[in-house]
Each structure stands twice: as C-alpha cells, then as structure tokens.
Chains A and B, each alone.
Chain A
Amino acid sequence: MSTLYALWLVSLIISLIALAIMVGLIIARWISQRRARAREAERRRLVPLLLGGEANGEQLAEAERAPDLLTDLATELIQMVRGEDKENFVASAERLGVAERLRYRLDHGSPRTRLAAAEALADFADDAISMDRLRRALDDPNADVRLAAALALASVGQAPPARELVEKLGLGTHESSALTVGLFEEVARERPGEIRELIEAPDTHPYVKVAAIDALSASGDYSLVPIIAKLVLAAPDDAEELPRYLDALGDFGHPAAASAVSKVLDSPEWKVRAAAAEAAGKIGMTDAANRLAALLSDSHWWVRFRAGEALALLGETGRWALTEAAEHAPEPARSTAQLTLAERGLA
C-alpha cells in the first residue's frame, strides 16, 4: 500500500472515529438533557427547603441521596445570604454533609473542582476538619488551588504565618498574582506584624515586598513611612518596584516621605517621575511646586499629567504655579497647565 493511499485511509478512519464520538456525545447529551429537567425540578424543590433550615429536616434528609446537587446548591445559596441567616444556613449545610462533600472534592477532584471546593470551604470556618483540609491544600500540586486555599483560609482569619505562605505559594518566584495583595490584606487584619516583617526583611523578594507594602498602604500605620522611604532611596532608578513604593508613600500622604519623593522627582525613568509627582501632590509638598511646574514640560505625557494634577492638589501655591505656566510658559507646559486648570474648574 502506497503512502498516499495510506493517507487517504487514515483520513477516513479518523474522520469516522470523530463522527462516532460525536454521535456518542449527542446521545449522552440527549440523556443528560432529560436528567437535567429532573435535576432542575429537584433544585426548585430543594431551594425553599434549604432556606427553611431545620424545620425541613426530614425532607432535606432525602436530598442527601443526591449529594452533588445538594452541595452545588448549598454553596451557591450560601453566597447569597448574610449575617445570622448565613450562619444558620451554613450549619444546615454542614449537617447535610456539604462540607464533607467539598472536602472530598478538594482531595479527589480535577484542579478546577479542587479550586472551587477550596473557595467554598471558606464558609465552613467553624469546622476544624475543613480548615485542616484547606491547610493541607496549601501543598496542592496546582498553584491556583494553593492560592485559592490560602485566600480561603485568610478570609476567615486562619491563614498560616505570612512567611510560610510566601514559601508554600512560591510568591515572587512562581506566583505573581495580583491577588497576593488581597491575601496580605486579609492576613494583616489579624496579624499586621507579619506583613510588616516581610517589608523590613532584607531577603524578601521585591515582588513580595511590593505586595506587602500595597497591603499595608491603606492601614494608616505611619511608622511604615520611613521604612518605605528608605527603600525608595536604596532602589536603583530602573527598579520595577520603585513606582509602587512611591504610590504607597502617596497613599500614606505623610510628610515624612517628602525627602525621598523629592530625591526621585528628576529620575531618568519616566514612570518614577510620574509616580513621584503624584506622590508629591498627595503628600502636599508645596516646597516642590517649582520642580513640579518644571515637570509640566516633561517629554512624557504621564509625567506632565501627574505634575499638573499634583499642582492642583497643592492649594494656592499650586494654583498660582499652574496659572503662571498657563500664561507664560512655553509649550507643552502651557497647554498642560491650561487644560489642567480647565478640567478641574480652576481656570
């Protein structure tokens, strides 16, 4: 048999196999469609029973014969209720074996199922076995599942020490999700010292340091300002994390950061200049008004924009600098100042 003939035969065989599989899937879908109707009817029956709680104990006991449906429904409904209702609801779900089913999924499901189970188990914070299982999931082979477990534990104040989280999740080395900031925020609610320690430790990965700073920047703990200012002064001009340090200093808005911000206002990196200008405005660095006015003619639009915004935040001093630039400065400072004043209704 020639190669060309074999090609024809192979194409025929794999096409027929694909068609046969598709026919099988269509039959399976037809069967599941019929079952879906029954499932939907059961769902409609269960929702009021679940919402009714203990009063419907007997009828709900029947539902335990369909544990997956009950688990899906309960986890969905738990998200919709709040306060005491939620507590009662979670207690009912636990009695009906929902937490147990979720733990089973966390142990035996596909990565997708494990991730969803880890998220759902956060609602069973009083169940020690579930929390223990979530802690074990921090060693799951799948990075997304590990992060979901960490977030679930942190959301109920049961996260392990921050250092351990960094290590188990590979933060900064294998994991760089923006959700790390949320994770640290949750940990910081109970144990801010652990997150602060990450900022201060010299061996912390820059990514982890930035996430920790972001997490604490809304905390109002001004004792962090000199620490972050020191990091700004120590960072090289082109360090990726430098603009984020400056953002954090701007969020604190504390004058103790002024000298560090002032030092990088003329950085060769435009992102650093823009972040420094923004921070200067938020801190209220009126003595930097002239330097900010000079940035109105920066070669980069973002720097000009941030400088204009910063001046607008500096009260009379800034407004005077903007008016001066709008009237007397050459382009592009002139139009930057004019449009900043007009946009903010200061013209």
Chain B
Amino acid sequence: MIDWHQLAIDSASTIAMVVIATGLIQTGFYIVQLVYAGAALAARPPISRASLLWRRYADHAPPIAVLAPAFNEEVTIVESVNSLLALHYPDFEVIVINDGSKDGTLQRMIDHFGVERVERFYDLSVQHQPIRGLYASPRLPRLLVVDKENGGKSDALNAGINVSRAPLFCSIDADSLLESDALLRAVRPYIEEPTLTVAVGGTIRIANGSKIAAGRVLEVKLPAKFLALVQIVEYLRAFLMARLALSKMQILMVISGAFGLFKRELAVEVGGYSHGTVGEDMELIVKLHRLLRDRKQPYRIEFIPEPVCWTEAPDDLTILGRQRARWQRGALECFFKHKDMLFNPRYGRIGFLGFGQVLIVDVLGPIVEVLGYVLVPLLWAVGLLAVEYLLAFVAITFTFGIFVSVATLILEEVELRRFPRASDLVILTFISVIENFGYRQLSNFWRLRGFWQFLRKQQGWGQMTRKGFQSAS
C-alpha cells in the first residue's frame, strides 16, 4: 500500500533539493568569479593618467569610429556630440546615426554643426534600413552624420558599421556619457594583443547623484534614491565581479551596448548586430565566439575594469521593471537561438562554462528561485520539510547573497577605491545587505515577466522614459 504521507515528504524533499542545488551551483559560480576577479584586479597594469596613456599609445593606437545611434534626441544631441568630439584619442571619427527620428534631431545637427550633404563610398555588407543621406563639414572633419530610415538601435549601429572605415568601432548608447579618456583606456588590449583581441568592454557606472556638467562627470556622489543605490551594487557585481572574472576565464558572453570596442572586420563577417532581438549586444559576442571557434582561430574578448562610461539608471519601479524584463528576454532569445552551442565540445569553454553559466544564472535561476520562495516555506509550514531545508534555502538566497555583494564591495575598495567617501561605503554596505530582502525577489519577478514575454514572443523595447542626466549640484 502506498504511504502517501511518506511520498509527499519525499517529493517535498526532492523539490527543495533541486532548488537548493541550483542555488548552490549559482553561488559556487559567483565565488569562483570573485576569486578570478580578485586575481584579474591584482594583475592589472597601473591606472595611468590620461597624459601618460597618450604618450604611451598615441603613435600606435588604431583609428576608431565611435558609433552613436540617435532617435528623437533633439534636446540633447548637440551636447552629446560635443562631448564625443572632445574625446581624447589620437585618431577617431564620430558617426552619429539619426535613426529616422520624428523630431528635429537631424536639423539640430545641421544647424549647430553646419554639416552639409556629402557623398561617401560605403560598404553594404551588413543589413540595415536605407540610408537617406550623409552629412559632414570640412570644419569638423571628425564628424559624420548618417540619416537613415528608422530600424532600431541595432539597425542604426549596422549602418554605422557599414559607413565606418576605421579598423575598430566603438558602439555607445545615446544616453551614456563617456569619460574623456575612455577610448585610450579601452584600446589597451588592442595594443597589447593586436592580433588576438576582437572585442573589449569597459565598466559602466551609474551617474545618478553625481555632479555633471557639459557632458562630463565632475564629482562622483551616491544617489539619494534606493532604487538607484541598489543598482550601483548590482552594477558592481555585474561588472567588477562577473564580467571581469568571465573575461579572465575568456568566457565573456556579453559586452554592454552602452560601451563596446570591436574589430570592424569581424563584426561585418558575423553580419553585424542582429535584428528582431533585444539582446543584440549579447548576440554579437556569441556570434563572434561561434565564428572564431568554428574557425579554430585563437582570439580574446576582454573586459577592462577602468570606468569608461556613465549611464543614467532608472529610479522608477515601472521603468526598471521593464528594463530588467527586457534584459531577461534578450538573454533568453540569444540563449535559445544558439542553444546548439550549449555543452557542445566544438565550442570548448564557451559551450560548457559560458553557456552553462547563462543556463544556470539566466534560464533556470529565476524560475527555480521563485519556485523556492513559494514552495519551500509552504512545504515547511505544512510539516513536509524539515527546518534544515528552510535554513539551507535561506542560506543560498539571502546569506550567500549578502556575502557575494559585500565581497564585491571589498574588492572595489581594496583594488579601485572609486567611491570617494567612507560614508559612501557605509551606505553601500547597508544596501548590499538589505537588497536581499525584497529587491532581490522583485528583481526575480521582473525576470520571470521577461521569461513570459519571451515565451509569448513579445517584441519591442517597451516605453523607456528618458529623463536625461540630472546633476546633483
């Protein structure tokens, strides 16, 4: 006769063990990342002054095309372009791609910079919506404006790739601010390993709360709002720990769309940015891995810990929720599109570790964790689970979470010291603890929403309300 009670207990234990094991693998991977990130930071070259970098690299730095897609940026476009033209780099060109803006973005540029229609012979290798015209001025030889029909960010970047002639291109977000020496810092891997390096990402930092003027961050300050603060801790984990470690392991799977430096020739070979996905930045990297692994060609995709780019983080729950759901959808689209690479020996560490990490952290992680939040306390409350299961679940979701966040903050303080005041550290330590109680669960809910949107094949970016950079001063 079936012992139903025992069967219920066994089933509950199995469910809890799956939840705990998944969380444990995830935590284990984070701890490995912390070790690798620590090693990478300890071994990095000195952070030199911009003048020293210039002296060191000026004669050997390859030309770079900075691609700045713009859609309805009438209000901010002049300041953004001025800030880009003021970058410190020996040989660069700023290509602003007006992606069929419905406002006066193009006219503002024509009026302010005096650009006029020109002819230029450009490549047609990667696909994008038709280019309506190119604009330049002999007065500003570094600036080229591309006016094209609307097609979205990846489409605009593809047009920029086709039009650019530099061996490297730097893709940026319209709403990000670059440090004036960002290109000089980011080009380092291309100088050190010019043949092997195919893509480089840099640290993105949150500018909310900081003092900003004329497109430059003048003084780093913490934001006042909780949501912006909690994202600072998240970005530290994402960039300082995860991306740095994954780069050290040579399994970096994504370079943020806000700042990435790529070899143009290879980006063209993989067809540029993909259309019809919101994870185009991740997909470009995966396509590069695939191409170079298929060819058995040695290569490096690097991440540099130096801050190169500042972004405005959403401090509103609705917008943040949309952003996180979109990121989740992007990761899933990319994962399932390239699922044949998962655990495929042909792709070596990318197939096993890179895709394995995406499977655990992005595909299974949120589902299993939310399942755990519902089932583990419930099963314990009805007496089907021993208290040890509950404690182990709390360990993998809360206490290890605190450890990972605080350990990342320790890395930041020991190696980089980018937060200027001791009080900043007190606040961020506090946030590292309390984010695990409420925000983490909310974040998982947003990711599940992204999962749902992915399953329903929902496209588009959703409404993103841009507030522009707000100076604390």
Seen from chain A, the residues whose Cβ lies within 8 Å of a Cβ on chain B are 2, 4-5, 7-8, 10-12, 14-15, 18-19, 21-23, 25-26, 29-30, 33, 76, 79, 110-113, 115-116, 119, 144, 176-179, 181-182, 185, 240, 301-302, 305, 308, 335-336, 339-340, 342-343
Contacts and interface: CB of A to CB of B under 8 A. Distances in A.
Contact of B120 (A12, A30, A179, A343): A343
Interface string B366-393: 0000000000000000000000110110
Given A178-B191, A301-B125, 11 more contacts: A18-B403, A18-B407, A22-B410, A25-B414, A33-B421, A79-B52, A177-B192, A185-B59, A305-B123, A339-B120, A343-B120
Interface stretch (B108-116, B422-430, B456-464): B422-430
Given A14-B403, A15-B399, A182-B60, A8 B388 contact: yes
B409 interface: yes
Closest 10 pairs between A and B when the two form their complex, measured CB to CB: A11-B395, A339-B121, A342-B119, A11-B399, A8-B391, A4-B388, A4-B392, A18-B406, A30-B422, A301-B123
A178 B395 contact: no
Nearest to B58: A182
Given A5-B388, A119-B52, A182-B59, A305 B121 contact: yes
Given A18-B410, A22-B429, A181-B60, A112 B403 contact: no
B399 A144 contact: no
A10 B55 CA distance: 50
B410 A25 contact: yes
Contact of A19 (B51, B165, B389, B429): B429
Name which of B120, B403, B410, B417 has the most chain A CB atoms within 10 A of its CB. Answer: B403
Contacts of A116: 46, 48
B426 to A, nearest CB: 6
Nearest to B402: A15
A41 to B, nearest CB: 17
Contacts of A76: 49
A244 to B, nearest CB: 11
B56 interface: yes
B426 A26 contact: yes
Nearest to B59: A182
Given A4-B391, A29-B425, A15 B396 contact: no
A119 B59 CA distance: 17
21 contacts: A4-B20, A5-B388, A7-B395, A10-B395, A11-B395, A11-B396, A11-B400, A12-B399, A19-B406, A19-B429, A22-B425, A25-B425, A29-B422, A76-B49, A79-B52, A110-B42, A112-B46, A119-B52, A177-B193, A181-B59, A182-B60
Contacts, number: 130
A101 B56 CA distance: 23
B79 interface: no
Interface string B118-139: 1111011100000000000000
B317 interface: no
Contacts of B193: 176-177
Contact of A79 (B51, B392, B395): B51
Range for the number of chain B residues in contact with chain A: 35 or more
B29 to A, nearest CB: 15
Name which of B59, B399, B425, B426 has the most chain A CB atoms within 10 A of its CB. Answer: B399
Given A4-B388, A7-B392, A115-B45, A26 B194 contact: no
A179 B414 contact: no
B388 A22 contact: no
B214 interface: no
Contacts of A111: 43, 45
Contacts of B196: 176
A113 B52 CA distance: 15
A27 to B, nearest CB: 8
B422 A33 contact: yes
Interface string B160-173: 00000100000000
Contacts of B165: 305
Interface string B10-24: 000000000010001
Contacts of B195: 176, 240
Contacts of B124: 301
B410 A178 contact: no
Contacts of A21: 406, 410
Given A119-B52, A182-B59, A26 B425 contact: yes
Contacts of A18: 402-403, 406-407, 410
Contacts of B45: 111-112, 115, 144
Nearest to B414: A25
B33 to A, nearest CB: 15
Contact of B191 (A110, A113, A177, A301): A177
A178 B43 CA distance: 20
A25 B120 contact: no
